[in-house]
């Protein structure tokens, strides 16, 4: 076997920008090479820019932060790689105006991904940068869809003593830009996805008369749902968790919350205590504090 890694760091940098949509210089550095000086990452990004694969804007606030994003050529190139097949970036991912207008939310989503990545590295869990896939489309009928901020694949490490169980999660990052009621309205959408059985002529069924929910064609278990709350103080966080709890109460008869862990936590708590700390609150009982990796399914 030929052992060649020509431009491996450049390749990962472009893949991350194509998949995550955008990242600051510091965020790219934390993905690629947190143990070396950031100047190496700056040189790498400058080289990719000179090759026409990435570009940048400078935000006027936050100390004139540079935000990097892929060019159309960069997206086209990255989409041909095996690790990127099936991942369709936004049509506006290479538009500087769209990047500027979406920067607040998208950079927070990227920061959340990095929080999971850094925690997994500390714990010895398996979570690679491309295991975070933003905005995966899940139809729920009538032309509607659930599009989480990210779908995450995460494997627990040997320290958990369970031979590396694979976890999947839908991640919703809320920056308090919408009212609490609109945030809570995401729960019925996930409940619809959990129950949704499409009518598709010609799709083979396992046996006559048996129907499968659409998500079962993608996942062995329905991914847990994680709400990461930011953009407001402690009182605002409590208001949003209260709204989620009220929304959960309306779903109680459906069984969705009995079958699927749905948890919420503030981004500030996650960054301060670590994502694997017991800071996650089940929306049906937010007085609890649990580990997101240990919050068990109750399916039988």
Q: State pLDDT tens for residues 104-118.
A: 999 999 999 999 999
pLDDT band at 159 (very low <50, low <70, confident <90, very high): low
Contact 148, 136 (CB under 8 A): yes
Indicate the pairing of strand 150-155 with strand 132-134. antiparallel
Helix (H), strand (E) at residue 247? helix 234-251
**What average pLDDT does this structure show over 53-61?**
91
pTM metric for this prediction: 0.90
Model confidence band, residue 42 (pLDDT cutoffs 50, 70, 90): very high
How far apart are the C-alpha atoms of 140 and 214, rounded to whole Å? Answer: 9
Q: How far apart are CA 49 and CA 217, in angstroms?
A: 39
Query: In what helix (H) or strand (E) does residue 115 lie, and over which residues does it extend?
Result: helix 96-123
Which pLDDT score, from 0 to 100, does residue 204 have?
A: 58
Other Cβ atoms closer than 10 A to 194:
21
- 258 backbone dihedrals φ, ψ, rounded to 5°: -75, -30
Range in 39-48, 58-67, 119-128, 271-280 with the lowest mean pLDDT: 58-67
- The CA dihedral of 258, 264, 269, 271, to the nearest 10 degrees, is 100
pLDDT (mean) for 186-207: 79
Q: Look up residue 283 and give its DSSP letter.
A: T
Residue 257 has pLDDT above 90, yes or no: no
Whether the predicted pLDDT of 208 surpasses 50: no
The position carrying tokens 């599009």 is: 147
- 201 vs 53 pLDDT, higher one: 53
Quickly count: other Cβ atoms within 10 Å of residue 105's Cβ: 17
DSSP assignment, residue 204? Answer: P
Q: Check residue 1 and give its pLDDT.
A: 38
């Amino acid at each position: 076997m030929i052992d060649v890694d020509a431009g491996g760091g450049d390749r990962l940098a472009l893949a991350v920008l194509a998949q995550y949509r955008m990242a600051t210089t510091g965020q790219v550095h934390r993905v690629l090479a947190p143990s070396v000086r950031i100047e190496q990452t700056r040189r790498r990004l400058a080289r990719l820019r000179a090759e026409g694969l990435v570009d940048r804007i400078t935000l006027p606030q936050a100390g004139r932060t540079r935000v990097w994003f892929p060019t159309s050529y960069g997206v086209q190139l990255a989409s041909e790689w095996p690790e990127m097949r099936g991942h369709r970036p936004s049509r506006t991912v290479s538009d500087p105006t769209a990047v500027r207008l979406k920067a607040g939310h998208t950079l927070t989503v990227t920061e959340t991904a990095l929080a999971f990545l850094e925690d997994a590295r500390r714990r010895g869990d398996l979570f690679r940068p491309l295991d975070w896939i933003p905005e995966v489309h899940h139809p729920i009928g009538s032309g509607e869809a659930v599009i989480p901020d990210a779908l995450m694949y995460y494997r627990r490490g040997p320290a958990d003593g369970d031979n590396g169980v694979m976890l999947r999660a839908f991640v919703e990052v809320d920056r308090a830009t919408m009212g609490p009621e609109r945030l809570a309205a995401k729960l019925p959408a996930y409940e619809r996805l959990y129950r949704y059985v499409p009518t598709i002529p010609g799709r083979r069924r396992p046996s006559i008369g048996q129907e499968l929910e659409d998500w079962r064609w993608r996942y062995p278990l329905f991914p847990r749902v994680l709400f990461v709350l930011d953009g407001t103080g402690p009182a605002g966080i409590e208001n949003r968790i209260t709204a989620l709890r009220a929304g959960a109460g309306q779903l109680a008869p459906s069984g969705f919350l009995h079958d699927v862990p749905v948890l919420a936590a503030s981004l500030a708590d996650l960054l301060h205590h670590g994502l694997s700390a017991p800071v996650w609150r089940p929306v049906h009982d937010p007085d609890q504090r649990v580990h997101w990796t240990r919050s068990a399914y109750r399916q039988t």
